[in-house]
Amino acid sequence: MAKEMIPIGNILSAKDAGNIVSQYRKKQNLTQVELAGLAQTGTRFISELENGKATAQFDKVMHVLHLLGVDVLATERSV
């Protein structure tokens, strides 16, 4: 059985990704320190990610989103 995909918004910038991380971290009652521990990153990385730091490492961002239960799906824009 296929997993249901529920759209939560477009990610058009690092700030958009950060907002989603912050929203889902809080939804799961996690602190930045707790999320950093789960993701095996520093608290500073989580803070900078949530604040939209444009140079955050892509693989780490994807790992954090995965831990929070958020999948990223690329789609073609309609013209």
Quick: pLDDT tens for 49-68. Answer: 999 999 999 999 999 999 99
- pTM of the complete model beyond 0.85: yes
26 domain-assigned: yes
42 domain-assigned: yes
Query: Residue 2 — pLDDT band, cuts 50, 70, 90?
Result: low
Q: Which residues contact 66 (CB under 8 A, 6 or more apart)?
A: none
5 domain-assigned: no
Looking at the 3D structure of the chain, how many domains does it have?
1
Distances, alpha carbon 57 to alpha carbons 5, 8, 62, 64, 70, in Å: 25, 22, 9, 11, 17
Token digits of residue 11 = 């990610």
CA 41 to chain centre: 13
72 domain-assigned: no
61: left (phi over 0), alpha (psi -120 to 50) or beta: alpha
**Whole domain around residue 30: which residue ranges?**
14-67
Residue 36 sits in a domain whose CATH number is 1.10.260.40
